[in-house]
Amino acid sequence: MQAGNGRKLMSEINVTPLVDVMLVLLIIFMVTAPMMTQGLDVNLPQTTAKSIKTQEDPLFMTINKKGEIFLEEHMIRLEDLEEKVKSIFKYRRDKELLLRADRDIPYGVVIKVIAAVKRAGIDKLGMVTEPKD
């Protein structure tokens, strides 16, 4: 079959533009994906949720009304928190921590504690709540 100007019609798909578009999309997703995971990754449990099932005993961290931080029953300063958590979880396979914070504690204090725990390499951070009556 001949076209009007003497050239044959091509019945094949030209994949070059498709490849170009796919490469651009790949680069865009590679650049934007790390930016999407920069936030604090905390899933707050619902008050009607069932208890958390874990393979190992989770470590409990508590922040009381005075802003004091406790790992289990031992008081710890915020400056030492990251290093202590790293050393505790050094040989644990599942890096899981449960946080109990007093409802009257300022939000900024809780975020500083969560940031220190995340820098220590904790994979799972749970927030402990009390069920509604």
d(C-alpha 39, C-alpha 127), whole Å? 16
Show me where the domains of the chain are located.
59-127
Q: What are phi and psi of 76, to 5 degrees?
A: -140, 150
Distance separating alpha carbons of residues 44 and 19, to the nearest angstrom: 42
pLDDT string in tens for the chain (133-residue length): 555 676 777 778 888 888 999 999 999 888 887 665 443 333 333 455 555 555 557 778 888 888 888 888 888 898 988 898 888 888 877 778 888 888 788 888 888 999 998 888 887 888 877 766 5
The C-alpha atoms of residue 76 and residue 15 are separated, in whole angstroms, by 61
Strands (E), the chain: 59-63, 69-71, 74-76, 96-101, 124-127
For residue 92, give both structure tokens.
Answer: 């644990």
In CATH, what is the architecture of 59-127? Answer: 2-Layer Sandwich (3.30)
Task: Sort 95 into a burial class: Cβ within 10 Å, 0-12 / 13-18 / 19+.
Answer: buried
